[in-house]
């Protein structure tokens, strides 16, 4: 079987962004199980409702593939509510692994096949799938078309691509302010958000600040016309559905004014106010009568057909092997797997992985958290050890959470790396270049501190989930 040549890492999504995606999903996936379940159920209701309303457009939902599945919750929806068979794929194997909690929590009988993989090089054969879906995924690629080409390649003739919750660029904005999600807004931002005025000064979609601060670069450049032009390059028939920004009196006023003009108002409103976009896209041709689910996989290294076995997948052409690791097959290419899943290494202290304790020297409290969201609180100061494993320039990345406005200072081998004011509660990422050395003694100083209530209270400041040395972003 033919397979496209690998896309350079920086063309669609840099290696540093892929690392950030894995870190974010590992940390966020079911870290707060009850809250996550409610959010996943709400997303499934929206996505399932749109699919039900457009079911006539889709000749078959099996076999399906969800790209960027996170915990796989929408794939579980298709498997159970729509009786479909398919694959949930995400860059984060841990997010998929933790997501199996949903089967118990929701009393589900059926499960998709769980596969870690890269959206820019899907581990599936040409023309092998009837239905592909993505949600909140395309905008995380600087070259969205790379993913669209891969979706088109793996879809069988007559197959359908369904995506939703992608941003349509808003024309009516001064683009002066990058806004966080509502729960992290300051009082003045919240007031503007409630009446809709924040949309008129936002650089991009509300909430982009949070993911950008985590290192996930986003693409909000596409207006409705650009979306349509790109999709028509690959698909024969489109059904586009827009959900424009409606919050607040200011957006409502503009919407009412635009509806008074002649012609179809909906595309005009979506372009002016911005929107989320859902689309159903049909590939030219007629869908084959049979597309066996377990014949769809392809080797991520050489592109040959990858026979399915329950315990391990072995490529007969090049010897590539992927074991069933806790219900998930990691089908990243050998090179990318080595970068994103290196195992225990002295240049990485991932608190969700065993063995990180060896690099912690002082100031860290006991391990807490659920699933991939493992963390340790510190007081005013903590110290850790990292060892260089790569040549070339290195950046120290520190990932954590602050419950209040806080200040964090970093040092490496006694040299100050920087001081950061965390002016919003929530997740944070700190990055700073370090001088060349074989080993680094990292000091983390945080203020203010606070005391836990109750007997035996600890003195706390922020909590940390990851310390790592990595190359600078390309």
**427 contacts 211 by C-beta, under 8 angstroms:** no
164-179 pLDDT tens trace = 999 999 999 999 998 8
DSSP β-ladder status, 86-90 and 64-67: parallel
Upstream peptide bond of 383 is cis (omega within 30 degrees of 0) = no
Is residue 76 over pLDDT 80? yes
For 377, half-sphere exposure in the C-beta direction (CA atoms, 13 angstrom radius) is 16
Is residue 285 over pLDDT 70? yes
Q: For 258-285, what is the mean pLDDT?
A: 96
**What's the pLDDT score for residue 195?**
96
Q: For 121-133, what is the mean pLDDT?
A: 98
Q: Is 106 helix (H, G, I), strand (E, B) or coil?
A: coil
Hey, which residues does 418 pair with through a beta bridge?
Answer: 410
Whole-number Å distance between alpha carbons of 281 and 228: 10
Among 322, 378, 329, 325, which Cα is nearest to 351's? 378
**84 contacts 64 by C-beta, under 8 angstroms:** yes
Is residue 1 over pLDDT 60? no
Is residue 3 over pLDDT 50? no
Q: Is 277 helix (H, G, I), strand (E, B) or coil?
A: strand
**What's the pLDDT score for residue 21?**
81
Structure tokens at 214: 């985590």
Dihedral sign for Cα atoms in the order 70, 76, 81, 82 = positive
**What's the pLDDT score for residue 472?**
87
Whole-number Å distance between alpha carbons of 464 and 81: 39
pLDDT band at 29 (very low <50, low <70, confident <90, very high): low
What is the share, in percent, of the chain residues with pLDDT greater than 70?
Answer: 96
Q: For 183-200, what is the mean pLDDT?
A: 93
Whole-number Å distance between alpha carbons of 96 and 110: 15
Is residue 299 over pLDDT 90? yes
Is residue 115 over pLDDT 50? yes
**What's the pLDDT score for residue 121?**
95
**What's the pLDDT score for residue 423?**
87
Q: pTM here?
A: 0.90
Residue found under tokens 């009393």: 107
Dihedral sign for Cα atoms in the order 195, 198, 200, 205 = negative
**What's the pLDDT score for residue 370?**
80
Which domains are delineated in the chain?
Answer: 9-330 (3.40.50.150), 348-470 (2.60.120.200)
Among 280, 272, 204, which Cα is nearest to 244's? 272
Hey, which residues does 426 pair with through a beta bridge?
Answer: 402
Q: Is 103 helix (H, G, I), strand (E, B) or coil?
A: helix
**What's the pLDDT score for residue 160?**
98
Dihedral sign for Cα atoms in the order 165, 167, 168, 172 = positive
pLDDT band at 260 (very low <50, low <70, confident <90, very high): very high
Is residue 68 over pLDDT 80? yes
H helix intervals, 313-464: 334-340
Structure tokens at 310: 């329950």
**What's the pLDDT score for residue 11?**
62
Is residue 8 over pLDDT 60? no
**What's the pLDDT score for residue 241?**
97
pLDDT band at 12 (very low <50, low <70, confident <90, very high): confident
**189 contacts 248 by C-beta, under 8 angstroms:** no
H helix intervals, 54-142: 73-81, 93-99, 101-105
Average pLDDT, the chain: 91
pLDDT band at 86 (very low <50, low <70, confident <90, very high): very high
pLDDT band at 109 (very low <50, low <70, confident <90, very high): very high
Burial letters 242-266, b for 16+ CB under 10 A, else e: bebbebbebbeebbeebeeeeeebb
């Amino acid at each position: 079987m033919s397979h496209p040549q690998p896309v350079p890492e920086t063309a669609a999504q840099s290696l540093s962004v892929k690392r950030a995606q894995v870190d974010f999903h590992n940390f966020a996936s079911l870290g707060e199980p009850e809250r996550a379940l409610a959010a996943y159920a709400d997303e499934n209701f929206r996505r399932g409702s749109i699919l039900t309303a457009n079911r006539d457009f889709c000749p078959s939902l099996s076999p399906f593939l969800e790209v960027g599945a996170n915990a796989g919750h929408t794939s579980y929806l298709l498997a159970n509510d729509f009786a479909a068979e398919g694959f949930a794929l995400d860059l984060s194997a841990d997010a998929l692994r933790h997501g199996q909690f949903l089967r118990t929590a929701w009393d589900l009988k059926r499960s998709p096949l769980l596969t870690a993989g890269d959206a820019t090089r899907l581990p599936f054969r040409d023309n092998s799938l009837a239905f592909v879906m993505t949600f909140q995924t395309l905008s995380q690629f600087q070259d969205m078309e790379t993913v669209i080409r891969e979706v088109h390649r793996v879809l069988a003739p007559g197959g359908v691509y369904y995506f939703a919750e992608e941003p349509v660029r808003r024309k009516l904005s001064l683009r002066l302010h990058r806004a966080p999600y509502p729960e992290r807004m300051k009082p003045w931002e919240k007031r503007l958000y409630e009446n809709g005025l924040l949309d008129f000064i936002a650089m991009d979609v509300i909430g982009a600040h949070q993911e950008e601060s985590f290192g996930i670069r986003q693409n909000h450049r596409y207006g409705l016309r650009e979306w349509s032009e790109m999709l028509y390059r690959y698909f024969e028939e489109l059904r586009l559905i827009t959900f424009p920004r409606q919050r607040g009196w200011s957006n409502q006023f503009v919407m009412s004014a635009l509806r008074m003009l002649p012609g179809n108002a909906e595309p005009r409103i979506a372009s002016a106010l911005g929107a989320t976009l859902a689309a159903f896209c049909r590939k030219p041709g007629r869908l084959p009568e049979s597309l066996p689910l377990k014949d769809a996989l392809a080797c991520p290294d050489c592109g040959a057909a990858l026979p399915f076995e329950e315990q391990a997948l072995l490529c007969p052409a090049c010897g590539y092997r992927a074991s069933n690791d806790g219900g998930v097959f990691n089908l990243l290419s050998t090179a990318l797997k080595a970068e994103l899943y290196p195992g225990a290494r002295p240049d990485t202290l991932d608190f969700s992985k065993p063995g990180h304790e060896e690099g912690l020297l002082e100031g860290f409290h006991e391990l807490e958290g659920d699933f991939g969201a493992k963390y340790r609180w510190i007081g005013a100061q903590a110290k850790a050890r990292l060892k260089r494993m790569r040549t070339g320039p290195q950046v120290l990345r520190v990932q954590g959470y602050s419950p209040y406005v806080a200040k964090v200072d970093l040092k490496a081998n006694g040299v100050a790396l920087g001081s950061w004011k965390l002016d919003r509660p929530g997740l944070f990422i700190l990055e700073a270049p370090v001088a060349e050395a074989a080993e680094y003694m990292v000091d983390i100083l945080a203020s203010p501190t606070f005391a836990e209530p109750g007997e035996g209270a600890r003195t706390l400041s922020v909590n940390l989930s990851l310390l790592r040395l990595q190359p600078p972003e390309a």
